[in-house]
Amino acid sequence: MEVTTMKDLIKYIAQALVDNTDAVEVSEVVGEQTSVIELRVAKEDLGKVIGKQGRTAKAMRTILSAASTKLRKRAVLEIIE
């Protein structure tokens, strides 16, 4: 799979983590300086995306930050229940 946007990157990572890949929804709210990436997964997969003490979510945010820095934009990941 080719990743072309930050939205695709988060979707790719989330689908690799969860059991129900069809329930993964990623939307992007674009602002002037910051993009907000909203991630929705099935309720039973929420724990897998967040991880123990939020480690998986933090890792996803770190990867997103590195990718957005390369594109000279700022991106924030919101995990929505």
Domains of the chain in start order, with CATH, are 6-80 (3.30.300.20)
How far apart are alpha carbons 33 and 21 in whole angstroms?
A: 31
Question: What is 51-74 written as a DSSP string?
Answer: -GGGHHHHHHHHHHHHHHHHTT-E
Closest CA to 42 of 61, 60, 68, 24: 24
> In tens digits, what is the pLDDT along the chain, a chain of 81 residues?
566 789 999 999 999 999 999 999 999 998 888 899 999 999 999 999 999 999 999 999 999 999 888 888 899 999 998
Neighbours of 71 (CB within 10 A): 11
